[in-house]
Structure 1
């Protein structure tokens, strides 16, 4: 599959954008006209620079408001096009994107539009270039790809074809199935974009909220399968208008885009396997190495300067220390199958408090191959003689993901620490879920990273009100629910006031007993206001004795159609806090209705700790 990316996707100068596309391994780029106009480089210099970087220049865009106009404006448009075709010759670009008219069209007559495209095709032929006609979702008369395809067919000109854009098709709710009726030689270009499923005007949705494939809600695997069945084998390009991407490091963004196309290849291969055959496919695509989702969370690594406080807290919750690693400056605490590795922050780089996640997998080598094919950078583990081999990769926010063999019971690497503590009653069973705070510039990339690398699926995102703004949360999970990752977007502009929603939740079968034992060891839970318990007493029919115990222990409560959810929180230690949860009778959620109360309680605790008035 030939990959391309529009320069509008990336921040920086045009030269920086070309460098980023090359570094990420794209085959070519689309030149967005404003990037060219703002560049001090001549068209010839840009052409040579692209060739030097191993990039083809695949498309010049956009050319707007051409068809459906009166004779006088048509002549002006043809003169304007002639100048752009000459510019394309200087750049060495053979295809121009023509958007359907949104402003100046006086008529929706398809015969008139076709006749005018035919005239444009005649001019294009003189310059040995082609026109790819695209139906914009907000076009005045042409807003669907099937209409655009009819006009191209009526134009019947070798230099006039189609550009298919997934956003313009799927945002309007149009089925992509009819793509298979379009001759492959009439599809001149393909642009891809994902997006969250929003209810808003389509122009604003397009201009600000597009995402890379896999980061939104569109079924792009099926879209690609329809395209491949036509026999199309031209460039598959990313055209993403996104306010965040225009502010972030262009190389990191380009790598994220390249990862999205590799993931999409895999999804398209799966969709082709499910569907009926079509014309002979010419596009070469391949599935990713097959992996099963992890069988459990092997460990969570926390890096913090507040090690004494975390040790004390883990002990209060019933964790036992194995002691320090035999060669590394980290220590291990465990209870049941829940394992926490503690260490001080690295001196040479900044990483999140949740600095690493370990997963047990059936085949670590296959998991690593899949991650590397998704452009995740490998992270070697420093190993001494006799250490268990763990393989890992870096995630977008700088944390690390390691894969270890599923050893059944206790992982072999545990033996690298001190002797296992004496047996004691263990009420915590395993890690239930992990909430990872994501900076604004990494959130969408992290969604795609964990979804694709771990072969998880995304649940609908939610927004939770916090005292410092809305916290957007996206849960990724395995089908069996063993792996649950919640990625939380820190409110923009909150600064130091943001309570980072970054925490580890541990599963137990008796949260009330664990809360009582923790109290006996000196534990003080996050204080939940009395108003909360009055509210749940009104909302749910709760046995009075249970309600009294919930109040006393600061345990929160939720219920769904399947069962009940009881959970409590610790106070934050730095930028991490812990949670203990009990799921009864198949409860599948996370207590979303309780999240605003928890966030407010943490905010109050933080203000009180600073001695602020009115805390």
Structure 2
């Protein structure tokens, strides 16, 4: 599949955008008119620069408000078109995007529209260029892709075809099956975009909230399957209007964009396979090695210059120290199958922060290969000959992701590199696993992270939630496996000020069988719990008919509680060290959530603590 991207998707100058697209591996680009108008590069310079970079110039866009106008305005529009056709000749671009009129149209009859488009097509033919006519979802008279295609068929000119844009089709919830009936030779161009489903006027939705495929909720796999069946073999190009992308680093946005098209091809191929298709179409939808979803967490790593506070915290919770690694400056702490690595190589004065997460996978080499083909950077890791080799990749927020060989019993062979487990302070019979890891995402990388974890690790995004906090709304995106063996929570969190530095708070949650016993033992060891206000327990008593003695236990141990039709959830939080705090949870019955009603309480208490210690 020939890949493309519109320059409007990216930040920077036209030259910077072209460089980033070439480095990311795109075949071609669309030149957005404003990018050219504001550029110091001449059309000839752009043409030569693209050739040097190995990029094709596939489309000039947009040409607006041409059709459905009176005769005087039509004449002016044709003069304007001729000038643009001449410009395209100097650029070396043979196709222009013409949008259905949204502002100046006064005539909506199909015969009028077809007659005017026919004049444009003849003019384009005289200049040796093609016109791709696109129905904007908010077009005044033409807003439906099938209507636009009927007009193209009515004109029946070799220089007039249609442009299919997934946003304009799927935002209106049009059925994509009719695409298959279109003659491939009359589809001149295809643009794709995803988007979250919002209750918003379609113009605002389009201009600010488009995202790359895989980062929204549109059914793009079916769109690609129907497109392939037409026999179309031209570019599939991204056209994304997004305020965040146009402020973010141009190079990494281009890589994210390319990742989305790799993912899109695979999803389209999977949809066709699900329909029983075995035919190879001209639009070749390349696929990657398929890997099963992770089976569980192998470990979580926290990096700190001064590890003493974190060591104390883990010991108070009941974790056992396994000592230091025989060749690396890291410690291992365990409780059952919950493993925490403390990395002592943090920069000077750096407080504890989550630096890496290990996932159990069926085939680490295959999973790493897939991730790298999805543009994930490799994490270098030095190992001795007798040490386990981890396959590492870097997530968008720079968290290191290690792909580990899973075992049926949940053990990890690499722990032997720390020697034999000493007698620890764990409660007799206590066991734990990592229940979930909560990673705070910088605002400019949130959508990128969702695509990264879903495409590279096969985690499924769930509907996101917004949680109120004293510093603003926190957007929370759960990514998990079907059996919930892996639960990853991505938070688009408000930036927290700590002293002179800014940081995000993140946490690791551990599931245990008897939270009350864990909490009581931790209290005796001097654990500093996150103190829950009395008002919370009064509200809890009003919401749930709890036995008084049980409520007293919750209050005494600073435990939080939630319940739904499937079961119950108990949990508590520790104080924060650096940017990390820990959570202990107990799931009873079929409870599958995270205690969402309690999240505002946590945020408020943590905010108060930061204010008093600042």
Q: Would you say same fold, with TM above 0.5?
A: yes
Q: What residue in structure 2 maps to residue 413 of structure 1?
A: 414
Question: Which digits, 9 at most, give the CA deviation of each residue in 1:506-557, with x for residues without a partner?
Answer: 0011111111111011112101111111112111222222111111111111
Deviation at 1:305, TM superposition (A): 3.1
Rounded to whole Å, the distance in 2 between the matches of 1:261 and 1:352 is 36
CA separation of 1:549 and 1:352: change in aligned 2, threshold 3 A? closer
1:36 is displaced (CA, Å) by 0.1
- Counterpart CA distance in 1 for 2:503 and 2:470 is 9
Q: How far off is 1:421 after superposition?
A: 2.3
Shift of 1:419: 2.0
Q: 2:573 aligns with which of 550, 555, 569?
A: 569
Query: How much does 1:407 deviate?
Result: 3.0
The separation in 2 between residues aligned to 1:360 and 1:528, in whole angstroms, is: 35
Alignment of 1:113-124 (within 5 A): 113-124=113-124
Residue number in structure 2 paired with 1:402: 402
Q: 1:31 to 1:119 in 2, by over 3 A?
A: same
Is the contact between residue 307 and residue 352 of structure 2 (CA under 8 Å) also seen in structure 1?
no
In 2, Cα distance between equivalents of 1:165 and 1:493: 40
**2: CA distance between counterparts of 1:276 and 1:106?**
47
442, 460, 464: which is aligned to 2:463? 460
Residue in 2 that maps onto 1:478: 481
- Structure 1 residue 304: Cα displacement: 2.0
**Aligned pairs (5 A) from 1:167-186:** 167-186=167-186
Q: Does the CA-based 8 Å contact 1:221-1:264 persist in structure 2?
A: yes
Match of 2:472 in 1: 469
Return 58-67 or 422-431, whichever deviates more. Answer: 422-431
Which of 429, 435, 438 aligns to 2:438? It is 435
Q: Which residue of 2 aligns with 1:88?
A: 88
Note if contact 1:428-1:506 (Cα within 8 Å) is conserved in structure 2: no
The residue aligned with 2:544 is 540
2:321 and 2:314 map into 1 onto residues whose CA distance is 9
- Tell me if the contact between 2:316 and 2:525 (Cα under 8 Å) persists in the aligned partners: yes
CA contact (8 A) 1:499 1:599 kept: no
TM-score normalised over the length of structure 2: 0.96
CA distance in 2, matches of 1:426, 1:204: 57
Whether the 8 Å CA contact 1:180–1:226 is kept in 2: the answer is yes
What is the aligned partner in structure 1 of residue 609 from structure 2?
A: 605
| Structure 1 residues 43 and 493: CA distance shift in structure 2, 3 A | farther
Aligned to 1:198: 198
**How far off its partner does 1:394 sit?**
1.0
Cα deviation, residue 415, structure 1: 1.0
Residues 22-61 of structure 1: pairs in structure 2 closer than 5 A: 22-61=22-61
Q: Deviations over 1:284-305 (max 9, x none)?
A: 1122211111111111111123
Moved more, 116-125 or 343-352: 343-352
How far does residue 463 in structure 1 lie from its aligned partner after superposition? 0.8
**In the TM superposition, what are the counterparts of 1:61-460 in structure 2 within 5 Å?**
61-275=61-275, 281-347=281-347, 353-409=353-409, 410-422=411-423, 424=426, 425-460=428-463
SS in 2 for 1:140: coil
Q: Using the alignment, how far apart are the partners of 2:498 and 2:6 within structure 1?
A: 32
Separation in structure 2 between the aligned mates of residue 143 and residue 547 of structure 1, nearest angstrom? 59
CA contact (8 A) 2:5 2:26 kept: yes
- The CA RMSD over aligned residues, in Å, is 1.9
Task: Quote how far apart the aligned CAs of 1:461 are.
Answer: 0.6
| Deviations 1:109-130, CA, capped at 9 Å, x for gaps | 1221111111100000011111
Measure how far apart 1:373 and its partner are: 1.1
Cα offsets for 1:113-169 (capped at 9, x unmatched): 111111100000011111111111111111111111111111111111111111111
Residues 376-414 of structure 1 deviation map (CA, whole Å, 9 limit, x = unaligned): 111122001201111111111111111111133421111
Q: Secondary structure at the match of 1:289?
A: coil
Query: Aligned residue for 1:555?
Result: 559
Assess if the C-alpha contact under 8 Å between 2:65 and 2:104 holds in 1. Answer: yes
Partner of 1:613: none
**Is the contact between residue 464 and residue 472 of structure 1 (CA under 8 Å) also seen in structure 2?**
yes
Q: Is the 8 A contact 1:318 1:426 kept in 2?
A: no
Partner Cα distance (2:513, 2:306) in 1: 29
What are the Cα deviations for residues 186-221 of structure 1, in whole angstroms up to 9, with x where unaligned?
111111111111111111111111111111111111
> What is the alpha-carbon distance in structure 2 between the residues aligned to residue 529 and residue 189 of structure 1?
60
What's the secondary structure of 1:590's corresponding residue?
coil
1:448 positional shift: 0.7
Structure 1 range deviating more: 346-355 or 554-563 = 346-355
Secondary structure at the counterpart of residue 72 of structure 1: helix
How many corresponding residue pairs? 610
User: Partners in 2 of 1:501 and 1:7 — Cα distance?
Assistant: 35
Question: Is the CA contact 2:352–2:577 (under 8 Å) kept in the aligned structure 1?
Answer: no
How far apart, in 1, do the equivalents of 2:389 and 2:93 lie?
Answer: 49
Unaligned runs of 5+ in 2: none
Instruction: Describe the shift of the 1:186–1:278 C-alpha distance in structure 2 as closer, same or farther (beyond 3 A).
Output: farther
Q: Structure 1, residues 346-372: CA drift from partner, whole Å, max 9, x if none?
A: 449999921111111111111011101
**TM-score when scaled to structure 1?**
0.96
Structure 1 residues 349 and 55 mapped into 2: Cα distance closer, same or farther (>3 Å)? farther
CA contact (8 A) 2:232 2:282 kept: yes
Alpha-carbon distance between aligned partners in 2 of 1:23 and 1:538, rounded to the nearest angstrom? 59
**Aligned: 1:508 with 2:508:** no
Which range moves more in the overlay, 273-282 or 230-239? 273-282
Question: Which SS does the other structure have where 2:444 is aligned?
Answer: coil
CA-CA distance at 1:499 after TM superposition: 7.7
Describe the shift of the 1:199–1:189 C-alpha distance in structure 2 as closer, same or farther (beyond 3 A): same
Q: 1:309 & 1:288 partners in 2: Cα distance?
A: 44
Tell me the distance in 1 between the aligned counterparts of 2:349 and 2:43. Answer: 40
